[in-house]
Chain A
Amino acid sequence: MPRISSPQALDALRAELRAAVGTAAPTTITLCAGTGCQASRSLPVQAALRAELERAKLAGQVEIRTTGCHGFCEQGPLMIIEPGNLFYCRITPRDAAEIVERTILGGEVVERLLYTDPVSGRKVMREAEIPFYASQERVLLGQNRALDPTRIEDYIAQGGYQALAKALAEMTPQQVLGAVRAAGLRGRGGGGFPTATKWQTTRDAEGEPKILICNADEGDPGAYMNRSLLEGNPHAIIEGMLIGAHAIGASRGFVYVRTEYPLAVEHVRAAIAQAREWGLLGENILGSGLSFDLTVARGAGAFVAGESTALMAALEGEVSEPRPKDVHTAEKGYLDLPTTLNNVETWACVPWIIREGAEGFRRLGTAASPGTKIFALTGQVKNTGLVEVPLGTPLREIVYDIGGGAANGRAIKAVQIGGPSGGCVPESLFDLPVDFDSLREAGAMMGSGGMVVMDEGSCMVDVARYFLEFLRDESCGKCVPCRLGVARMLEIVTDVAEGRGTLAQLELLEELGETVSEASLCGLGKTAANPALTTLRYFRDEYLAHVVEKRCPAGVCRSLVHYTITPEACTGCGVCLRACPQAAITGERRRPHFIDQTLCVRCGICREVCRFNAVAVA
């Protein structure tokens, strides 16, 4: 492939690629192969489909497009057949023959493979009609299903690198900066800092070369939007960074990805190699004089590395401990060079802003938080997956209209937003618009966008304990408030969870939380108390039940619950007996079984496997 040497050459190439799309296969089967769908065996489905198409001698007439994540991971593997927008889900390799025979050849719909809306119980034929998708604004995520992330041709045919060509040919760096400022783009990694301000600082700072970093160290448990973007549309990130390079005057960049995301690493590496080969990275890009190149660095497993200064330390080959921010990294960052670090999703918004202008971006979202945001909606909700909505969308809409409400009949009581930096927002506040500022007022934080829905089966003391344990393990140990403060907070919450807590300890917990928030060195430490403080603020009654009544209302905290078998309901089938990891259950076949409390570790497996609802927890 020759290097693309000018915006005109790019346009010509795009026209050529688009023309080729028209003449190729009349039918396209889009198959999701993101990490989620791969876990649901989408690759064997793909192989089976290819074999069936071969057998039916249709190989040239049907194109199989393997794409990144579509977002509806729970229903995976997902398939869309075009034309027609026919949507099949939870496909197995055994379905391949029927799909080819009945749908591709016969033009029929295989009813069994259609999606059933869990709310109405009705079968849905087209992807666009599924409530989960219909209530979203998938500006960024929607591109994933239109392209094969390993093919730069697909991205270019879809209009990719057009924004870059526009920025380079028609806009000065100041104009690009002006557009980003006018669009009001704020950092998607959680802080919500105005992106243009950061860019301007790096642009104005002394020191060469200037550095750009894409932060894809998505360490928040319960969040995976960055993984999906990087896996499903890596060129969009590269394009965003190239536009940033033009605006800032940067010549080197890094994409820092967690090593826990092997597919994202593979795809972004391949995309960088292709972009280099096609002349979109390297010297004199599109004949503009801009030179910029990218390197992939893999994170080695440290939550704190997601913090900007710690990430830069890791890039330098060191332990990822945060550094004091007396001088902002935008001025002196990586190797003391002026460095702009933005989150994956922030970079992905940049081509959108250049393509459609600031007004186009502001069409969605609120005045202070414009644009869309991707959230990972998970937990005890019917529809789980990635959700892209305009900022300012009420939480209730996300949980009920898109998420379909409670998963298993138990009432939803909270949404944990923003992972270890965020907090638990109670049901009473679900009308809160989800934007940077409203969440902060509620004591939570958008974080990078994890939303874990919790119902009456979740104990909020247990949730606080979970996050504190996570944070204690992940604290880098550099500053005292975080290292010791979080550990002490965990001790208190553990006491509460195990029935030793006192009312005085709850006060101490609040006090400690405030100190950790105020005195920690980095952003992760400053927000580490949020999960505990918000649960205490909104679910104090649950803490009191543990402390005063020595009772866990949700039946989760192991020290405070007992599992017993109700003899009247037990059929003696033996399933629990075989499932118990401690061999604590005894009983003859067809006779009621019995749990030995001295052996029971209260893991709850027996209750989960019992088909007769015979295991009670109290």
Chain B
Amino acid sequence: MVASEVRALLAGREGRPDQLIEALQDMQAHFRYLPEEGLRMAAETLGVPPIEVYRVASFYKAFSLTPRGRHQLTVCMGTACHVRGALRMVDVAQAELGIAAGETTQDGAFTLERVNCLGCCALGPVVVLDGEYHGHMNPAKLRTLIAETRAADANGGAPHAQD
């Protein structure tokens, strides 16, 4: 299963070490993390030693070596968001989800992340849920957002999050 999907993602990149990061990006987008099997196949196909693949995979922030949740909640920690109370958003999200930033809830529903800047500084504080930006955030709005996402999941799941 994983192998055939990875093969499709690596197609056209045979013997091209310079394509490693692009290939891992596609893999990350597809699986929401980098499965070990995928890393091994990337090493072989691109012609890069496995240790180098691991080095790159563990260096960049966009990559995760463990499965992520169905919903990705990202809190922007850019300077502009910081001076407008981004840390409070992290506090609220951590308390609501019962996990620390960087972790995934036990039921696999949410992964909570901090990101350095999303470039929507005029709208701070900003959080992103499954690729959708939410500006001018406050604790109450964030709690509602999380509750609504949970409710949608309970009613059969939000289609955009199941890709």
- Chain A interfacial positions (CB closer than 8 Å to B): 35-36, 38-40, 72-74, 76, 218-224, 227-228, 259-262, 297-298, 300-303, 314-320, 376, 378-380, 384-385, 416, 419, 450, 452, 454, 458, 463, 466-467, 470, 474, 476, 579, 581-582, 601, 603-605, 608-609
Question: Judging by beta carbons under 8 Å apart, are A452 and B88 in contact?
Answer: no
Inter-chain CA distance A218–B117, complex, in Å, is: 9
**Residues of A contacting B87 with CB < 8 Å?**
603
Inter-chain CA distance A444–B105, complex, in Å, is: 42
Inter-chain CA distance A379–B86, complex, in Å, is: 12
Inter-chain CA distance A449–B91, complex, in Å, is: 30
A-B contact count (CB 8 A): 161
Per-residue CB contact flags for chain B residues 106-123 toward chain A (1 = under 8 Å, else 0) read 000000000111111111
Contact of A452 among B16, B22, B24, B83 (CB under 8 A): B83
Which residue of chain B has the shortest Cβ distance to A603 in the bound complex?
A: B91
Per-residue CB contact flags for chain B residues 66-90 toward chain A (1 = under 8 Å, else 0) read 0000000000011110111101100
**Residues of B contacting A604 with CB < 8 Å?**
85, 88
Question: Judging by beta carbons under 8 Å apart, are A260 and B22 in contact?
Answer: no
Contact of A315 among B18, B60, B79, B92 (CB under 8 A): B18
> Known: A36-B122, A581-B92. Contact between A259 and B79, CB under 8 A?
no
Question: Judging by beta carbons under 8 Å apart, are A300 and B119 in contact?
Answer: no
Inter-chain CA distance A227–B117, complex, in Å, is: 12
Question: Judging by beta carbons under 8 Å apart, are A603 and B88 in contact?
Answer: yes
Distance (whole angstroms) from the CB of A352 to the closest CB of chain B:
23
Which residue of chain A has the shortest Cβ distance to B80 in the bound complex?
A: A378
- Chain B interfacial positions (CB closer than 8 Å to A): 16-22, 24-25, 46, 48, 52, 55-56, 59-63, 77-80, 82-85, 87-88, 91-92, 94-96, 115-124, 126, 131, 133-135, 138-140
**Residues of B contacting A605 with CB < 8 Å?**
88, 91-92, 139
Question: Judging by beta carbons under 8 Å apart, are B21 and A300 in contact?
Answer: yes
**Residues of B contacting A300 with CB < 8 Å?**
21, 24-25, 60-63
> Known: A317-B17, A380-B83. Contact between A298 and B25, CB under 8 A?
yes
Distance (whole angstroms) from the CB of A137 to the closest CB of chain B:
20
The 7 closest A-B pairs by CB, nearest first: A301-B61, A224-B119, A39-B133, A581-B95, A300-B60, A73-B122, A222-B79
Question: Judging by beta carbons under 8 Å apart, are A224 and B120 in contact?
Answer: yes
**Residues of A contacting B19 with CB < 8 Å?**
317
Distance (whole angstroms) from the CB of B82 to the closest CB of chain A:
6
Inter-chain CA distance A466–B85, complex, in Å, is: 12
Question: Judging by beta carbons under 8 Å apart, are B119 and A466 in contact?
Answer: no
Question: Judging by beta carbons under 8 Å apart, are A221 and B88 in contact?
Answer: no
> Known: A221-B117, A581-B92. Contact between A74 and B122, CB under 8 A?
yes
Which residue of chain B has the shortest Cβ distance to A38 in the bound complex?
A: B133
**Residues of A contacting B122 with CB < 8 Å?**
36, 72-74, 376, 378, 384-385
Which residue of chain A has the shortest Cβ distance to B121 in the bound complex?
A: A378
**Residues of A contacting B78 with CB < 8 Å?**
221-222
> Known: A39-B134, A378-B124. Contact between A581 and B91, CB under 8 A?
yes
What are 10 A-to-B residue pairs whose CB atoms are below 8 Å?
A36-B135, A222-B117, A300-B61, A300-B62, A315-B18, A317-B48, A378-B121, A454-B83, A581-B92, A608-B139
Inter-chain CA distance A261–B94, complex, in Å, is: 25
Question: Judging by beta carbons under 8 Å apart, are B21 and A317 in contact?
Answer: yes
**Residues of A contacting B96 with CB < 8 Å?**
581
**Residues of B contacting A376 with CB < 8 Å?**
80, 121-122
Question: Judging by beta carbons under 8 Å apart, are B22 and A222 in contact?
Answer: no
Contact of B88 among A317, A319, A608 (CB under 8 A): A608
Question: Judging by beta carbons under 8 Å apart, are B88 and A261 in contact?
Answer: no
Distance (whole angstroms) from the CB of B125 to the closest CB of chain A:
11
Inter-chain CA distance A378–B117, complex, in Å, is: 13
> Known: A376-B121, A604-B88. Contact between A35 and B133, CB under 8 A?
yes
Contact of A39 among B88, B120, B138 (CB under 8 A): B120
**Residues of A contacting B116 with CB < 8 Å?**
219, 221, 303, 470, 474
Inter-chain CA distance A380–B139, complex, in Å, is: 19
Inter-chain CA distance A301–B133, complex, in Å, is: 18
**Residues of A contacting B94 with CB < 8 Å?**
581
Which residue of chain A has the shortest Cβ distance to B115 in the bound complex?
A: A260
Inter-chain CA distance A302–B57, complex, in Å, is: 12
Question: Judging by beta carbons under 8 Å apart, are A317 and B133 in contact?
Answer: no
Excluding A581-B91, A609-B139, 6 further A-B contacts by CB distance (< 8 Å) are A73-B122, A221-B78, A222-B121, A224-B119, A317-B16, A601-B91
Question: Judging by beta carbons under 8 Å apart, are B123 and A419 in contact?
Answer: no
Inter-chain CA distance A227–B55, complex, in Å, is: 28
Question: Judging by beta carbons under 8 Å apart, are B120 and A219 in contact?
Answer: no
Question: Judging by beta carbons under 8 Å apart, are B139 and A260 in contact?
Answer: no
Most A CB atoms within 10 A — which of B63, B115, B135?
B135
Distance (whole angstroms) from the CB of B28 to the closest CB of chain A:
8
Inter-chain CA distance A39–B61, complex, in Å, is: 23
Question: Judging by beta carbons under 8 Å apart, are B123 and A74 in contact?
Answer: yes
Inter-chain CA distance A378–B19, complex, in Å, is: 36
Inter-chain CA distance A385–B120, complex, in Å, is: 9
Question: Judging by beta carbons under 8 Å apart, are B91 and A452 in contact?
Answer: no
Distance (whole angstroms) from the CB of B138 to the closest CB of chain A:
7
**Residues of A contacting B133 with CB < 8 Å?**
35, 38-39
Inter-chain CA distance A519–B18, complex, in Å, is: 31
Inter-chain CA distance A603–B25, complex, in Å, is: 35
Inter-chain CA distance A303–B22, complex, in Å, is: 17
Most B CB atoms within 10 A — which of A301, A302, A608?
A301
Question: Judging by beta carbons under 8 Å apart, are A73 and B123 in contact?
Answer: yes
Inter-chain CA distance A302–B61, complex, in Å, is: 6
Most B CB atoms within 10 A — which of A76, A224, A416, A467?
A224
Contact of B119 among A76, A261, A463 (CB under 8 A): A261
Contact of A221 among B16, B17, B79, B140 (CB under 8 A): B79
Inter-chain CA distance A608–B91, complex, in Å, is: 14
